[in-house]
Structure 1
Amino acid sequence: MTNANPWDADWEVSEPLVRTLILRQFPQLSSMPIKLIGCGWDNMVFRVGDDFVFRFPRRNVAVELIKKEGMLLPMLAAFLTLPYPKPVFYGEPTTDYPFPFLGYTYLPGTFPKGLTDEQHASSAVALATFLKSLHAFPTQRARENGIEQDHRNLLDIAQRKEKMQTFLSTLAVHISGEDRDAIANYLRQVVIDRISPREVLLHGDLHVKNMLVDEAGQISGIIDWGDLNVGHPGADLNVVYSFLPPHARQSFFQVYGEVDEETKILARMMAVYIPMLLWLQAIDHKDEIVAEEARMTIHRALADE
């Protein structure tokens, strides 16, 4: 199969297939209802009963990612201050489905869409505490357990800027002139080509589809840990710009600690880069809700204190 987009599947995962795999490998769950609850770039997500959620890779690249999750997430328990899915069931490849898969504890919550600025701001301290603790995990221990280093080449700002200009060319015919100009003006202002390396353990993919909030709109969980890697903290700190409104950013840094200007440059860039990709996918899938959330995320990221 030739994929036109990075979110296209290499392998179709159907509900009947999931039922068969769970029946054969985890018969104690076979009487529980199974319901599709999500389709990400890398995995299909099914809720099993009230207490569990299973993720099945739909792209070849996701296989190693889900293996990383299963191995490292149990080691992070003492470092994570927000709820996260805990691996419980480790599925094995079969003749029907050639990939490993994972079953986790189910986390209640919804994706943070349509929140007010004050609801976003209310999570500043919780997010800062979470990332400060996660980034304190020993990087040597992560490497010893197979975690890659900077697999996305985050330090090359010039290269990422080129990618974003390509994304903008594709987006331009779908978005308003005001939104197009705002992104183009931002990219013109990015003049640094490369930043100095720094190393922490990263979640690696913090955005609206990998964060959960409770009924009050406060952060209640972090999901999808397949992009765990050792790299520059600016990648995770994108949430300072993508999730938090300008007036809440100082509260974040008072808890997390101050960072240098290069880190802020990378954080803001990723806060625009990731929702640009989400926006492109939403347009392809005709998902107006996610498209609007991506637009608002970029608007928030480009807003100054």
Structure 2
Amino acid sequence: MSLGPPPKRIDVTEDQVRRLVAEQFPQWAGLPVRPVVNGGWDNRTFHLGDAMSARLPSAAEYALAVEKEQRWLPVLAPRLPLPVPVPLAEGKPGADFPFAWSVYPWLDGEPATAERIADPAGFAADLAGFLVALQGVDTTGAPGPGTHNWFRGGTLRTYDELVRHLLDGQTGEIWQTALDAPWDGEVRWFHGDVAAGNLLLDNGKLAAVIDFGTCGAGDPACDLAIAWTLLTADSRRVFRERLAVDDATWARGRGWALWKTLVTCARTRGRTDREAVEAQRVLAEIRAG
């Protein structure tokens, strides 16, 4: 299955957001608009006043998630143990912006980093508890893997052609084990992008989970990649025990971590910036198990 060319992204300006809000939500027209620092790649996020945010897709592929988030986040939120963003309003194309977009309440917190996490084992247990609750929500009518979420929740074989030429002996074995690891076929909800930037901390403790653009229902192994991208070896064990996943699911999760890390390593080869160093660190964690 081909993933096609990379999305053609567009810029979004503060002026556009002000005009969109004024045209479609005049009750908020007087609120200041300013971009969020590190406000996202798939979506451009702007502060709307002090208590809200406007989230605008940067490409047609990411706009596919807007309707899904509008439909499902109000269903998921009451069933989860941590705050998640629930849309306040859905915007329409306008002001030279071609896609649907959303207004959300602003959730306080700072993105997770290893240095900011106060108790790694407690963080791992809290995150696992959140995923257990998410996986327990009824999936009737839920969206399956597809272009709206880059086939998260589906088979890793979708990415085989992309990473095959990047493998060496050890990573090739890890990858093949992940491909061969069977899924029991029980469809469960998954977040799809459980990454450090989508996990908010308050005083070092997990306080909220954001960005459900890649969520859906299928094989939840994709949500395990965080075990290698953020957690320590000890907290990884806590995470796995709390989730109570079998060897096959764990192997598939390791595969999800591997494909993206290998692609990042290839893209940053020869560089010494933070992204390149971080990709090499994560790859070492994946190799270590």
TM-score scaled to structure 2, two decimals?
Answer: 0.83
Q: Which runs of 5+ in 2 are unaligned?
A: none
Q: CA deviation at 1:187?
A: 2.5
Residues in 2 aligned to 1:241 and 1:201: alpha-carbon distance in whole angstroms: 21
Out of 213, 217, 228, the position equivalent to 2:201 is 213
- Equivalent residue, structure 2, for 1:260: 246
Q: Which residue of 1 aligns with 2:218?
A: 231
Tell me how far apart the structure 2 counterparts of residues 87 and 186 of structure 1 sit (CA, whole Å).
Answer: 40
- Aligned residues of 1:117 and 1:244 also touching (Cα < 8 A): no
Which residue is 2:144 aligned to?
Answer: 148
**Partner-residue secondary structure (3-state), 1:87:** coil
How far off its partner does 1:230 sit? 1.2
Aligned ranges 1:14-93 → 2 under 5 Å: 14-37=13-36, 38-93=38-93
1:22-47, CA deviations, whole angstroms, 9 ceiling, x for partnerless residues?
Answer: 11112222222211114534211111
Q: 1:81-129 deviations in whole A, cap 9, x for unaligned?
A: 1221121121122262221110111112222235278744330111111
Counterpart of 2:176 in 1: which secondary structure? coil
SS at 2:203's partner residue?
Answer: coil
Identity of aligned residues (%): 27
Answering whether residue 266 of structure 2 is matched by residue 270 of structure 1, we say no
Amino acid at match of 2:108: P
| 1:55 positional shift | 0.7
Whole-Å separation in 1 of the counterparts to 2:8 and 2:281: 25
The answer to whether the 8 Å contact 2:111/2:198 transfers is yes
Which stretch has the larger CA shift, 294-303 or 22-31?
Answer: 294-303
CA contact (8 A) 1:150 1:230 kept: no
Superposed displacement of residue 191, structure 1 = 3.0
What displacement does 1:246 show?
1.7
Answer whether contact 2:52 2:103 (CA < 8 A) is retained: yes
Write the distance in 2 (CA, Å) between the matches of 1:110 and 1:293: 19
Residues 243 and 300 of structure 1 are in contact (CA less than 8 Å); yes or no, is this contact kept in structure 2? Answer: no
Once the two structures are superposed, residues 171-209 of structure 1 have per-residue CA deviations (whole angstroms, 9 ceiling, x without a partner) of xxxxxxxxxx7xx62223433444333420111111123
> Closer, same or farther in 2 for the Cα pair 1:8/1:213, shift >3 Å?
farther
Secondary structure, counterpart of 1:190 in structure 2: helix
String of CA shifts for 1:52-77, please: whole Å, max 9, x gaps. Answer: 11111111011221110011000012
Contact 2:145 2:154 in 1 (8 A): no
1:243 equivalent to 2:230? Answer yes
Return closer, same or farther for 1:293/1:103 CA change in 2, 3 Å cut-off. farther
The AA in structure 2 aligned to 1:237 is: L
In 1, Cα distance between equivalents of 2:14 and 2:95: 17
Contact 1:139 1:199 in 2 (8 A): yes
Q: Partner of 2:108 in structure 1?
A: 108
| Secondary structure of the corresponding residue to residue 60 of structure 2 | coil
8 Å Cα contact 2:153/2:217 also seen in 1:
no
Q: Residues 64 and 158 from structure 1, CA distance in 2 versus in 1: closer, same or farther, beyond 3 angstroms?
A: closer
Distance 1:148 1:8, change over 3 A: same
Q: Distance in 2 between matches of 1:109 and 1:134?
A: 21
- Provide the C-alpha distance between the structure 1 equivalents of 2:207 and 2:279, rounded to a whole number of angstroms: 20
CA distance in structure 2 between the aligned counterparts of 1:220 and 1:277, rounded to whole angstroms: 30
d(CA) in 1 for partners of 2:49, 2:72: 25
RMSD of the TM alignment (CA)? 2.9
Partner of 1:12: 11
Aligned residues: 278
User: Contact conserved, 1:39 with 1:45, CA < 8 A, in 2?
Assistant: yes
- 1:188 pairs with 2:173: yes
Contact 2:77–2:83 under 8 Å retained in 1: no
Does 1:122 find its partner at 2:122? yes
C-alpha separation in 2, matches of 1:8 and 1:114: 32
C-alpha distance in 1 between matches for 2:154 and 2:141: 22
